Amino acid sequence: MEQKNYITSLCSIKNGIVSLDGVSGFSDKSIDGVDFIKAAYKEYQLSYPKFYKMDNLCKLAFVASELLLKNNPLTKKYASQDIAIVIANSASSLEIDTEHQRTISDKNNYFPSPSVFVYTLPNILIGEIAIRNSIKGENSFFIFDKFDAEFMSSYINSILDSSKAKCCITGWIELYENKYEAFLYTVEQQEGTLKTEHTAQELKKLYNH
């Protein structure tokens, strides 16, 4: 019998709205861009001293993952090595890359910052999620022009079907030029409250909702 995998929880952050499993929560469209991420962090009373040291892409990933895992605590259900993390976006870490470039472009005003440079790889956000939650499983970061439901469903299902992991935190985390979007969800081999199979068709419906 073919193994089925299921989308078991979902966190979306975009256009001034946070939603969990399709239900809108905190919203404030008067707060511009990345300031909304900080506002959501405060609204949900999240607490992590390192948050304000992160670049904005990691801040977005952190808030989305915190809300997702509070809603569906994978780390209490699975061993750390059985949880995979797979994230994608289109801009990579371009926002912080640009900031770093400004610090090194002028030889007469050369002031590179280690605290900026450390975030000049997009997979650093996976590391932040993994460290925060003591996750030690498979992880990958991909760059696409846009969210690719076919690839994500196929790739994540292959990880679970081959027993490389028993569950996965996955989705799309994009932030560039004060525009942001998080579409982060969990996949498990058992049906959750969303009762949604992890297929490209179902992913497209949820992403475009």
Output the pLDDT for position 123. 86
Mean pLDDT, contiguous 10-residue spans, the chain (209 residues): 88 97 95 92 96 93 98 97 97 67 66 62 90 97 97 98 97 93 97 94 94
Q: Is residue 191 part of a domain?
A: yes
Q: Is 98 helix (H, G, I), strand (E, B) or coil?
A: helix
CATH number at residue 81: 3.40.47.10
Q: Is residue 145 part of a domain?
A: yes
pLDDT in tens, 86-101: 999 998 766 765 665 6
Residue 85, phi-psi category: left (phi > 0), alpha (psi -120 to 50), beta (remainder): beta
- pTM of the shown model: 0.92
Q: What is the domain count for the chain?
A: 1
Q: Is residue 1 part of a domain?
A: no
Output the pLDDT for position 140. 97
Q: Which of 104, 124, 152, 105 is nearest to 7 (CA)?
A: 152
Structural domain boundaries enclosing 176: 6-207
Output the pLDDT for position 87. 98
- 115 is written with which tokens? 């605290």
